[in-house]
Structure 1
Amino acid sequence: MDNDSFFLVQYRNGKATEIGIQRELSKVASIKLFGLDMFNTTAECIIDSLMKKDNVICNEKDLQLGTEYIFPKIGVRLWRERAFHPKLLKDPLYMEEMQAVLEDEYQYQYFQMVTIIG
């Protein structure tokens, strides 16, 4: 770990069972899975593409607004701190609550962590 990026490794019984890659690492390395740039492709596109290869487990009923996605057969977990989808811009309550920070919300169209699980 340094000030800009890190790997998160989880061990079980002395063996690495998960390796997570944080978004900042994409500034110095290309992080791709099945040809997709995992940090510069929208979450929606990544989810749609990976769902063709595996079933998804999501923490929300609305797949576009989830924050954690697990693809058990291919061994991938995707995470973002908050969900953002352009459809939220049509919700007047959302627009009222988020007006001051709306520009920052666009970053949540992308994942912040990709973890390979075994």
Structure 2
Amino acid sequence: MKILKVIPRQSIGRIKIGMNREEVYSILGMPKKQETIEWIGDYHIEYDNDKVVFIEVPNSIADTHFVLFNGVDLFGTEAKLLVKYISEYGKYDETDEELGYSYSFKTLGIGLWRPSIFEYEMINSEEFQELDEENQLDEIQNLYFESVCVFQENYYD
């Protein structure tokens, strides 16, 4: 397993905020089509004036990489615990309409997202128990975040 370090407002692995396209392509290879927002391998990258302003990776990268913030596995830590941990370093936007699904730590330049809110306490709920096994397994995946990103200052302003 490889390690991808998430450094607030700076980088995920070797891809850094502020890099130009050529630098990104020399590391990840060429995308199928050059656009403002590109998927290259496991990376989702957004550019402004040909400079990286946003980097995101999905939890599927956890099959081959540990994605770490200050030594904590971002895809292997329960969402509720992860938010609490990262909150020790910076505050998340409490006014976010998607709160629970997404957390934007603007002072850190880190974001987290999951498609559905699920907590361990919900396992015993009648609604969860009525789901078939496949749907239960899908819901349990939402205990964790599906993607993590870093972004430049003022990205969400």
- Classify the TM-score, shorter chain: 0.7 to 0.9
**2:147 maps to what in 1?**
113
Aligned counterparts of 1:53 and 1:70: Cα–Cα separation in 2? 13
Counterpart of 1:105 in 2: which secondary structure? helix
**2:44 maps to what in 1?**
8
Q: Deviations over 1:64-104 (max 9, x none)?
A: xx111100111101011111112223543x336x5222232
| Aligned pairs for 1:49-68 within 5 A | 49-57=85-93, 58=96, 59-60=98-99, 66-68=100-102
Across the aligned residues of Structure 1 and Structure 2, the Cα RMSD in angstroms comes to 1.8
**1:47 maps to what in 2?**
83
Cα distance, 1:12 vs structure 2? 1.1
Higher helix share: 1
Count of residues in correspondence between the two structures: 108
1:89 pairs, out of 102, 111, 123, with 123
Aligned counterparts of 2:141 and 2:55: Cα–Cα separation in 1? 23
Unmatched 5+ residue regions in structure 2?
1-30, 32-40, 153-157
Aligned counterparts of 1:111 and 1:46: Cα–Cα separation in 2? 9
The answer as to 2:141 corresponding to 1:75 is no
Aligned counterparts of 1:81 and 1:6: Cα–Cα separation in 2? 18
Aligned counterparts of 2:109 and 2:86: Cα–Cα separation in 1? 11
What amino acid sits opposite 1:72 in the alignment?
K
Counterpart of 1:47 in 2: which secondary structure? helix
Cα distance, 1:113 vs structure 2? 0.6
Cα distance, 1:54 vs structure 2? 1.0
| Aligned pairs for 1:20-39 within 5 A | 20-39=56-75
State the TM-score, normalizing by the size of structure 2: 0.63
**2:131 maps to what in 1?**
99
| Distance of aligned partners of 1:27 and 1:95 in 2 relative to their CA distance in 1, 3 Å threshold | closer
Q: List structure 1 segments (4+ residues) > 4 angstroms apart after TM superposition.
A: none
Counterpart of 1:56 in 2: which secondary structure? coil
Counterpart of 1:99 in 2: which secondary structure? coil
What amino acid sits opposite 1:54 in the alignment?
G
Aligned counterparts of 1:54 and 1:72: Cα–Cα separation in 2? 8
